[in-house]
Structure 1
Amino acid sequence: MRAPDFWRADGMSPRLLSPLGALYGAVAARRLRRDARRAALPTIVIGGLTAGGDGKTPVAIALAQMLAANGDTPALLTRGYARGAGVSCESFAVDPAIHGVEAAGDEALLLARHALTIVGPDRAASAERARALGATVLILDDGFHSRRLSADLSLLVVDAGYGAGNGRCLPAGPLRAPLEAQFAAADAIVLIGRDAAGLAVTAGCGKPIFQARVNPDRQIAENLKGARVVAFGGIGRPGKFFQTLKETGADIVVARNFPDHHRFSGADIASLAALRERYGARLITTEKDAMRLRGTALPFGVLPIRLVFEQADEPWTTLAEALERARLRVS
């Protein structure tokens, strides 16, 4: 889906939808308070403040890399959103050489490039599969609001450029639950960027805030400097990608938005190829979009990004303490 513009500011549409938003928010807040079963491994759960685009996936990858660098074997657990219809409900480890977007989903394919990744709607079964495959810690990149597994550490991701949008819950606004309920359920906040919207939303939340930023791949960014590009993306907030691309010094002659998790049709591919020829430009997209374009004849490039914590020792200290408590619990 593509987020409606009225989610950014209050107005007639949000006010008309506010009763539905209040109902949705009440149900979501109650779900955040419910108990969940514990896995046999330490469990880190990541959530996004709003309905897509906050940056959960880069945070999950950064934590997996941090854990691996310190001797752990992390497993990333995901339900495999936007998989094809009729796929198996049994949990499985993603192998990008075997599985495609129909079987695993685009996010799972991207995650599997960085760590063991298990796809399945049953989080408990996925946790057991991960343990059997040698994992020592679990990371759920979409389990904060569903509460299928209890967390030893819950992180809530906030995109500083977007904040809480108009501050209302779905469908009147972008929030997946009321602000207060989400902050209460989180152990810490990951704030990506330093824009005023995010700083205002998190001020006074009463939780530790880990400041982070997104950096593009340095070598690829250098190669894009001055290049004419047709930028396109089917992610939660493609404008963020376009801005990052612009900051490399690339000359964006056309920017094409697609809905999140968009499956590119033959017509889409032909249209993008025609834009490339018309402007004599390079096609550049995101890593997640590239997962959905595998196997096509479209000549495109990718600008990878990496999440960096500004003070890496702060999240690592919190993470290490949570792991120690969890291992005492399961020992």
Structure 2
Amino acid sequence: MRAPRFWDWDAGFHSPAARLLSPLAAIYGAISARRQHRRPWHAPVPVLCCGNLTAGGTGKTTVALDLGGRLVARGRAVAFLTRGYGGRIGHPARVDPARHTARDVGDEALLLAALAPCYVGGDRARTARLAISDGADCLVMDDGLQNPGLWRDCSLVVMDGYQGFGNGRVIPAGPLREPVPNGLSRAQAMVMIGPDRTGLIRHLPPDMPCHHATLRQKESGLPPGCGVVAFAGIGRPSKFFDGLRQSGLSLRRGIAFADHHPYRRRELEQLLEISKNMDARLVTTPKDFVRLPSAFRGHVTAVGVGLHWSDPHAPDHLLDAWLKGRS
């Protein structure tokens, strides 16, 4: 789905639609809080969670990939855990990129599995046990801050500085998965991506560190000034389109779809026709690319992003503290 306009931070806490849905939001928040009373399973290896407080893309997968890559560079046998949103495999399973598609395990799982072993499953404890039995000596969760089944030695709240907590209300009245104080009480630090446009810092407990980072477009292999038609079905497609402009490409048109959108044949034919009419290259995100049919991928260039930390030492200090806590 696409987030409704009244969820945005500048729509305001008191918008009519948000007020109308507030009773349902109260029920949703109460159910979320009740789930946290479940006793979690303590894994014999360190567990790090990259989660968020809002529905939609904040960059948590990008943070998980960044930290996971640093663990791989250290020689750790890291494994990723993710729910496998959009996939049809309901039981805990290891992702096999040679066999599984986005319809099986979700798009994010395929991106994670390209770096290190990735396991999908709604039951995080069972999924963790499977990863550990395969030899994992540390676990990185992509999402799962609201999942009480697995003990997390360190939880990071990843937030988009542009949108913040939205209008400040819980689903369906706003984008929050739970009230802000509840979620922050289970986290050890925040990672804010982009400038703090909405005053997120004001909501943090005094002793909670906030690490700042920005997204930077990776090399596309396309020449500077190359004309492109971009399409994206992510949390905030405008971030991708802005990054293309900033990287020196000539964005002829940006076409937004809902997050995790399953592309249909007719839509892809229309995208290809638009790009040909504009004499432009068709580009998309890696997350969208893995959802495309294999036969269509030759027509599209995937342009990814990397994380640039304001303090280049921050991520390694964070990992050191997390791993030391379980040594």
TM-score (norm 1): 0.92
Please name the residue that 1:208 is paired with. Answer: 209
Structure 1 counterpart of 2:137, which letter?
T
Please name the residue that 1:239 is paired with. Answer: 238
Mapped partners of 1:314, 1:101: distance in 2: 33
Residue 114 of structure 1 aligns to a residue in which SS? coil
Residue 176 of structure 1 aligns to a residue in which SS? coil
Mapped partners of 2:324, 2:132: distance in 1: 18
Please name the residue that 1:16 is paired with. Answer: 20
Provide Cα deviations, 1:196-247, integer angstroms capped at 9, x if missing partner.
22xx122351211111111111x327x3531211110011111111111121
**C-alpha displacement of 1:32:** 4.1
**C-alpha displacement of 1:118:** 0.9
Provide Cα deviations, 1:256-309, integer angstroms capped at 9, x if missing partner.
111111111111111101101111111110000000014133501111111232
Structure 1 counterpart of 2:251, which letter?
I
Please name the residue that 1:273 is paired with. Answer: 272
- 1:82 maps onto 2:86 in alignment: yes
Residue 158 of structure 2 aligns to a residue in which SS? strand
Residue 189 of structure 1 aligns to a residue in which SS? strand
Please name the residue that 2:305 is paired with. Answer: 305
Structure 1 counterpart of 2:2, which letter?
R
Question: Structure 1 stretches (4+) deviating beyond 3 angstroms?
Answer: 29-35
Mapped partners of 2:314, 2:281: distance in 1: 40
- 1:315 maps onto 2:315 in alignment: yes
* Identity among equivalent pairs (%): 41
Please name the residue that 1:73 is paired with. Answer: 77
Structure 1: state its 5+ residue gaps: none
Question: Any conservation in 2 of the 1:49–1:156 contact (CA below 8 Å)?
Answer: yes
Question: Any conservation in 1 of the 2:284–2:301 contact (CA below 8 Å)?
Answer: yes
Greater alpha carbon shift after TM alignment, 92-101 vs 268-277: 92-101
**C-alpha displacement of 1:33:** 5.7
Greater alpha carbon shift after TM alignment, 311-320 vs 48-57: 311-320
Mapped partners of 1:176, 1:25: distance in 2: 7
Over 3 Å counting, the alpha-carbon distance change for 1:12 and 1:202 in structure 2 is same
Over 3 Å counting, the alpha-carbon distance change for 1:163 and 1:132 in structure 2 is same
Residue 202 of structure 1 aligns to a residue in which SS? helix
Mapped partners of 1:155, 1:14: distance in 2: 28
Structure 2 counterpart of 1:171, which letter?
P
In the TM superposition, 1:37-116 aligns within 5 A as 37-84=41-88, 87=89, 89-116=90-117
Residue 149 of structure 1 aligns to a residue in which SS? coil
Structure 2: state its 5+ residue gaps: none
Q: CA RMSD in A?
A: 1.6
Please name the residue that 2:120 is paired with. Answer: 119
**C-alpha displacement of 1:146:** 1.4
Mapped partners of 1:231, 1:65: distance in 2: 27
Residue 326 of structure 2 aligns to a residue in which SS? helix
Please name the residue that 2:258 is paired with. Answer: 259
Please name the residue that 1:3 is paired with. Answer: 3
Please name the residue that 2:326 is paired with. Answer: 326
Over 3 Å counting, the alpha-carbon distance change for 1:57 and 1:252 in structure 2 is same
Mapped partners of 1:193, 1:161: distance in 2: 7
Structure 1 counterpart of 2:304, which letter?
P
Residue 98 of structure 2 aligns to a residue in which SS? coil
Size of the aligned set, in residue pairs, is 320
Question: Any conservation in 1 of the 2:38–2:149 contact (CA below 8 Å)?
Answer: no
**C-alpha displacement of 1:34:** 4.6
TM-score (norm 2): 0.93
Structure 1 counterpart of 2:181, which letter?
E
Question: Any conservation in 2 of the 1:7–1:166 contact (CA below 8 Å)?
Answer: yes
Mapped partners of 2:54, 2:262: distance in 1: 22
Residue 126 of structure 2 aligns to a residue in which SS? helix
Please name the residue that 2:189 is paired with. Answer: 188
